[in-house]
Amino acid sequence: MRLLARWLLLALTAALLLQAFFVGRIALMAWVDPQSTTFERSEAWRLARTGALHWRQQWRDYDRISDHLKRAVIASEDDNFANHDGVDWDAIERAWERNARAEEEAARRAAQNRPTPPIRIRGGSTITQQLAKNLLLSGERTLLRKGQELVLAYALEALLTKRRILEIYLNHVEWGSGVFGAEAAARHYFAKGADQLTAWEAARLAVMLPRPRHFEQQPRSAYLNRRAATILSRMRRAELP
């Protein structure tokens, strides 16, 4: 029993030290721009192994990123960004309900021997949760990793302003293979700076976010155009921090 108690104490101590490490890194980000994220480093390693390492990224301060892009990303990814505390439980519940309906529809079509399109799984993650995952966590899909993501999302909201969270997110989110951040995306797709993006260009970039590498290969996708038009109509209601 004593040996078990010691192992449990060691595990608890290690978990607490890990949380302290994460919190310390997040607190530092209030003043220091993060140079890279866990996800970016894993992507750089993946590209290097394939012999196709090409990298585009350049930090741009919040005021040097188009408000159109900020509004488009909020409208597309997290329309309650300015008001939630890091996790939008209502959005998560709605995502679960949509996924359940999609699975039921797929099963019904399969039972009728009708073509079944791929199910698009929706996660309901906020911008803060996405940033927490990309900054500090691995890409594995486990309950433990998801729980850690929630803890870090609350830590980000407690230690950083909404403006700072959005600034870091826009500078590190993936927009294609080896394309990270608003400045790199604006130059890669539209040959202009992130501060010069039009509302339509911003909407198209925002729609790419769930599957950037897919849409990079299909820039003329009909879905991309339709969804961009929808996001464009919502942008005026998006609240900026």
> Using one digit for the tens of pLDDT, what is the confidence trace for 112-155?
666 554 445 455 689 999 999 999 987 777 778 888 999 999 99
CA 156, 160, 163, 167 dihedral sign is negative
3-state class of 94 per DSSP? helix
Confidence of residue 186 (pLDDT cuts 50, 70, 90): very high
Mean pLDDT computed over every residue of the chain: 86
Question: What is the predicted pLDDT for the residue at 142?
Answer: 77
User: Do the beta carbons of residue 62 and residue 241 sit within 8 Å?
Assistant: no
Question: What is the predicted pLDDT for the residue at 113?
Answer: 67
User: Do the beta carbons of residue 167 and residue 29 sit within 8 Å?
Assistant: no
Question: What is the predicted pLDDT for the residue at 82?
Answer: 93
Question: What is the predicted pLDDT for the residue at 121?
Answer: 46
pTM confidence score: 0.86
Confidence of residue 17 (pLDDT cuts 50, 70, 90): confident
Question: What is the predicted pLDDT for the residue at 118?
Answer: 46
Count of residues making up the chain: 241
CB within 8 A of 186, min separation 6: which ones? 66, 69, 192, 193, 194, 196, 197, 201, 205
pLDDT digits (tens, 9 = 90+) for 42-95: 998 888 888 777 888 999 999 999 999 999 999 999 999 999 998 887 766 665
